[in-house]
Structure 1
């Protein structure tokens, strides 16, 4: 796996358990360091090994201070703990290095040198030290590569970092093997040493299992949000939907007398339909294209006509959103009312001009029906003319296509087709 499951839910979960995990990981590394100290003291040892062990314990202490005092109002009394806490707070959620992480990483890479090159020939102390060094290295590697940063949706993960994460355990095991295998081991001992080095590969399983578990968090969270909206949308169906449909049918007979009122009703009805649409699709956004999708969904359900529309993504100027909602809804409604069995809508940007094509398999316009006075198409054409656009239609082999164009409201902010 070369990508971690970045999502708000996964980030929240890893952040919530970060303090507890940091403490448990620090305790694990302290046990590994204690095993190294015991083994180191049981045999003739080089003096420089104690410096590496001291660094290892220093890193554990700072990591433990981070876990214990993170989120607490009272600051730690020890100055070293305060330093560790300030360093950790400034790097949470991003790839910035902190003091405890740097010290522990350096210690983890140096500790395998002790059983290989700094201790005497006694096998069991060296084996105990080797196991302790492998445990410390595995714990540090796991802590780094299941950190909350890998799940932060706002963090930009470098491609090189993701590739490193997908094979980090093999790299850690290879580094440890390169450090310890060239040392003097008896023939029977060398296989055990290789096995201990290979045990570090289990870290990759830990990373993958964490990713696989958190991959299911985002869809589960979306499903829970959708379930939470169910009561609201059910109430909208029963208490508002019926009355809105009846009011719409009454006013539709008189829309020529007051087209502005009719247009306002369409907007209100579309907003309600958007709420109902989001109950089916929790990823739908209400700004764009949510309201329009709700309006088209209402037309599709009222006339039993499937409508296919793949809306372009933002950015959209607010004035262009309003035009798209009004024009596409009116043209889809007109096609559905006059015999279309299937409707497809395409919207694209060419230069500074939006072009909308509404295809349907209904009959062509009869003489006098195209843009009749005070009709819906006439209102659409007038609106488009105000936006320096036009409305036209043409016959096709399987029906007709109506083409609407209008000039963008903010040209410099909108992406061109193919960009």
Structure 2
């Protein structure tokens, strides 16, 4: 694959394209949740089957990532992101077009397509962004993921009240159409642009020489494994809290379903602050500090809910900052340490494949612990353990980056 960078004047195009694509990389999964009771009623879904509308895509994230890496290696990042957006659009239409089986098929298509997008965006960031700007662009990507989730969560139910749930879900495909058109233009511009000068991209110092390359490869592999460890903790915690925080608040604080949902929404909204805060912290502190701060915030969420549950609004906001910051920390490190597009795709695929597998385990395990114990202490202790895994893995990855090759 080509490793040339886009010219500086085209960088704004790429960043805008990343943000537009990110709006369609989580929103289609969240969109059915506000109208899930209507979908169950119309299609005769059980609660377990309805859960597949959000659970299947996450499982596909884990299963499809190796194939996504090969797709990027064979056809290039632009082709891969076009495949992603086309698949999301097709899946969105299919999911709203037929009976129960067709709805599930559309969900599978959406999950598989987003899995490609999850891998290719970090590759594009590594290739096209100066390494000093990688944390900020990754933060913009992370923030856009959460904005996509937020607007679909807030807008689907009002749309469904006017046009029905099927058309409400299809309507979000307009975001995907916008991103698809934009990336078609980016791909065309890149195809006709002259190769960039090597000086157009400022790289961090690298080790040269045959023996240095071997040692560098080994270091990158070790960093990748520690980041895999960290992302498993991140994904387990995020999807467990997303799935169960409204129920937890209803059970422990006696809130109505609407009030508990509003409280839990802080966990999603505050992620934008976390994503955008990490680059500022990275620029002003030692390399380990962003990981330590984000890890401490992550740990505060389950601890706060255990020790002082009446402060749930504060804990939800702190946890949201942590989950937005955690994603940014991990994938900023990936983009900064890898040296080629192929290495970026392979490392990102390994991290995300393992992490999203952990994510599929989290919500069922937390729910089973709640059912088995009749309370939320055991589930929160498990989430606490997962947040500690994020902190340990992240700090060990940073430590590895600072060792002399």
User: For the superposition of Structure 1 and Structure 2, which TM-score range results when normalised by the shorter chain?
Assistant: under 0.3
Q: Which has the higher strand share?
A: 1
Q: Which has the higher helix share?
A: 2
Question: What TM-score, normalized by structure 1, do the two folds share?
Answer: 0.23
Question: What TM-score, normalized by structure 2, do the two folds share?
Answer: 0.23
